[in-house]
Amino acid sequence: MRSRRDFLKQSGFLAAGFFGLRQLSSAQAGMASGEPSLASQLPMRRISGYGPLVTDPQKVFDLPRGFSYQIIAKKGDKMDDGFLIPGDADGMAAFGMEDGRIGLICNHELNFSESGKGPFGLRNQLLSEQYRPFLYDYGSGKAPHQGGTSTIVFNPKTQQKELQYLSLAGTENNCAGGPTPWNSWITCEETTTKASEVLEKDHGYNFEVPFSPEIKPVDPIPLEEMGRFRHEAIAVDPRTGIVYQTEDMADGLIYRYIPYDKGNLHAGGKLEALVIIGQPSRDTRNWPAENQPVFPVNQRVPVKWIEIEDVRSPDDSLRFQGFDKGAARFARGEGMWYGNGEVYFACTNGGAIEKGQVFRYIPSPDEGTPKETSSPGTLELYIESSDQDILKNCDNLTVSPWGDLFICEDGDEPCNLVGVTPNGSFFEFGSNTHNSSELAGVCFDPGGNWLFVNIQGPGLTLAITGPWNRAMNA
């Protein structure tokens, strides 16, 4: 069997194993709900993208010719607040600064038992009693939680990191999250650990971390009304302020949180789950063993939303409550991002070969209001992998400023950074051929000149730049 790398070199990363993305938003806008999108009716374009990858002599990350990376963070190095850069870097977002510098907020997917990877040292020797108020869960002093976020300031002129500090502490398994339009990061706990004799708090919540270029750890206040479940990622629609959420469970739901006060998530809100109109409790996973009709690719279906009760869910039952009320079921919802006026999200082991799906949700013009019943939002299964040599186990994803999707793989080695153009062509942008770690946290700076990504195993954060071809899709 040809290797993945041989296949990609010879085919120019042919998208034949995929069902494509949209051709043009304007072309689809006039189509009736449920009608196949234009992209599914056109032959797939083969493109070489940015060209073949060049083997990295430093054995860190392979990129196309002309692109380069800087390692701007490495686990275990000392930060400017005296703590250590935590390991297991995961979801991440970039923020523009007025002086041209770039801010990053990065998750660290650690639990209370992983002090060897955490910010406080192997035996928590760097953690003092004075820092206790900044920890969500101090673990009674015996098991302080190691998860949270770190904040980075990167100077693109010098291509150097200027600052890094621990911005949220004492949380657990901070997997992904998402940026807000008001310059903060929502970090998500992918766990439902409960308080015990040692652990002081229930976990399974979201936390908000405003970006600050100064050492300023946040007060760790959980956003409880956004629900207690195994969160993965969020995306905020800047028009409405509504927050969409994925759940990393094999039978998870897609949620939305409508805040009572737009831009103020702590003021409370309403939690709802996605229902496909006319198809209650629809299974979208397309798993071969499930006795369910196939969920079609490249067809838009109208949706509605049902309210979720008892959102703090002490028994982790929100997905069962929602499914019983008619909510659709998804295969491990993971990365989520807002772009092109739409919300994209990945289901890492969905599909007939269980190698991943990408959906997109197009909000209603009247999203979150009573009028949306007459003009509902629509859901589309955008991509379903039928060949793991093209995409496997899609995880974190982002939308570039010019509209391409960039998708991190989390599966059998090597894990790759896969690009998908708006007209349905696929290309390989980067490859982690030098270790077996997943990729995570892919994001662009607002100007689209720098791409950032984490290699989780070795604990590296990369800043990548080069000759971005924004006209590649023309």
Percent of the chain beyond pLDDT 90?
79
| Residue 81 near residue 165 (C-beta atoms within 8 A) | yes
Quote the percentage of the chain above a pLDDT of 70.
Answer: 89
Gap between the Cα atoms of 379 and 370, Å rounded: 19
Residue 63's alpha-carbon distances to 94, 427, 451, in angstroms, are 21, 12, 12
Name the residue with tokens 């060897």.
116
Q: What is the pLDDT of residue 472?
A: 61
DSSP letter (8 states) at residue 435: S
pLDDT confidence of residue 390: 75
On the question of pLDDT at 141 being above 70, the answer is: yes
For residue 332, what are its two tokens? 């491990």
pLDDT at 33: 38
Residue 13 pLDDT > 60: no
Least confident range from 4-13, 136-145, 182-191: namely 4-13
pLDDT at 396 exceeding the cut of 60: yes
Report the 10 Å Cβ neighbour count for 138.
22
Using only C-alpha atoms, what is the Rg of the chain?
Answer: 21
Mean pLDDT computed over every residue of the chain: 89
The separation between the first and the last C-alpha atoms of the chain, rounded to the nearest angstrom, is 35
Residue 355, pLDDT > 80, answer yes
Q: Where are the domains of the chain?
A: 1-74+400-474
Q: What is the pLDDT of residues 185-212, one digit of tens each?
A: 999 999 999 999 999 999 999 999 999 9
What is the predicted pLDDT for the residue at 32?
A: 35
Locus of tokens 């439902």: 192
Residue type present at position 265: L
The string over 79-99, giving b where at least 16 C-beta atoms fall within 10 Å of a residue's C-beta and e elsewhere, is bebebbbbbbbbbbbbbebee
Q: DSSP string covering 369-411, please?
A: SGGGGTS--EEEEEEE-S-TTT--SEEEEEE-TTS-EEEEE-S
Return d(Cα 263, Cα 236) in angstroms, integer.
Answer: 10
CA angle 22, 24, 30 (to 5 degrees): 100
Give the C-alpha separation, 275 to 260, whole Å. 22
Confidence of residue 291 (pLDDT cuts 50, 70, 90): confident
pLDDT of residue 423 exceeding 80, the answer is no
Least confident segment among 120-124, 249-253, 270-274, 389-393: 389-393
Separation CA 40–CA 44 (nearest Å): 9
- Short-list 390, 426, 429, 395, CA closest to 409: 395
Q: What is the DSSP letter of 163?
A: E
